[in-house]
Amino acid sequence: MAIHKGRGFAAINYPIGMNLGGDPAQALVHSTPDGKFMVALSAIDLGQGMKSVTRQIAAETIGVPVEDVYVDTADSDTGPHDMGSFASRGTHRVGNAVIRAAAEARKQLLEAAAEELEVNASDLDTDGRGNIHVKGAPGRSITVMETSQAAQFKQGRTLAGRGIFLIPLSGTDPDTGEMTPVSCFAHAALVIDLEVDDETGEVEVTQINSAYEVGRALNPRLVEQQLIGGAWMGVSHALYETTEPYYPDRSHGPVDFNHYVMPGPGQIVPHHIAVLERPAEDAPFGGKGPGEMCANPVLPAVANAVYNAVGVRCDTLPITPEKILRGLRANGGARPQGRR
């Protein structure tokens, strides 16, 4: 009886969003009389940081401080239409819609400022700190707040923008079935180190090393947060979580958190991450977003590492001690595959 070390590798090409029905996202941007901008969305921030990222994107596009932008995720009754927060599509789809809406709002902002300064809008620029000035003559300027108040109370115009992002519909070739379901891929590679106890069948993941290519990391701390938490969830799916442990037999399923097993704070796995930035052409400021692939490659990497450690190939999840012990018995004991 022994503890066997194993190492497993997995790589992933992950589609950002989906192309069924064009996967549309809409955004509406409007100014308020205090010189702030409101972004209305129907995609919801579930904690992955979509509000922060769309706020950054709007601020950068309009040319105002990020503090002067609010994101309201409203609801599907009152907000502009969106397919939702899933399929790793938030940053890319919603972000692209926000860029378009924000660009229109910026155009109107500069037109209103041009009227106040009696210059051409094309001669104006923003400084990103709440001011609009004549290019080459920073002294001739007006604040964003003064501009939005002039638009509201004097010029009688709105500073607003509408944006939609729609992927070109991809038809299916009737002969080959070929289509282009996805326009943007993110990539990752991940190495899992773990130990398998061939007496109990228990697995302990000891280290994760990963490299993620997510386009530009628009908010690096949020990206890191997603990758750490997502990998934890991947380990949890690989080794613990299931609602139907004997699927398709539905019996013996968990009924609460005491039976639905998940790793706790005592099972934190050191995770070393390299984020590779390769800005995507059709992505907002190049950012594809990490999304679901934070968790996905962990599962095959764990399965490969278990095989590497004891020679048991588990092809159903989660990889429980029971499955490993059954595999060990069928093989007549552990068959470590060694390091290659």
Taking the least distance from each CB to other proteins, the nearer of 46 and 276 is: 46
CB of 66 to other proteins, least distance (A): 16
In whole angstroms, give the CA distance from residue 45 to residue 51.
Answer: 6
H runs (alpha helix) in the chain: 50-62, 95-117, 144-150, 220-239, 298-310, 321-331
Taking the least distance from each CB to other proteins, the nearer of 75 and 249 is: 75
Q: How far is CA 131 from CA 63, 106, 140, 166, 211, in A?
A: 9, 12, 10, 33, 40
Taking the least distance from each CB to other proteins, the nearer of 126 and 226 is: 226
CB of 303 to other proteins, least distance (A): 20
Taking the least distance from each CB to other proteins, the nearer of 167 and 294 is: 294
Taking the least distance from each CB to other proteins, the nearer of 262 and 314 is: 262
CB of 85 to other proteins, least distance (A): 11
CB of 74 to other proteins, least distance (A): 18
| Exposure string for 71-82, b = 16+ CB within 10 A, e = fewer | bebbeeeebbeb
CB of 128 to other proteins, least distance (A): 24
3-state helix, strand, coil in the chain (%, to 5): 35, 25, 40
Structure tokens belonging to residue 181 = 């379901």
Displacement of CA 94 from its chain's centroid (Å): 11
CB of 210 to other proteins, least distance (A): 13
Taking the least distance from each CB to other proteins, the nearer of 229 and 336 is: 229
The site for other proteins (CB under 8 A) is made up of 46-49, 221-222, 224-225, 228-233, 256-258, 262, 264-266, 268, 271
Q: Long-range contacts made by residues 173-176, C-beta under 8 angstroms, separation at least 24?
A: none
In whole angstroms, give the CA distance from residue 221 to residue 227.
Answer: 10
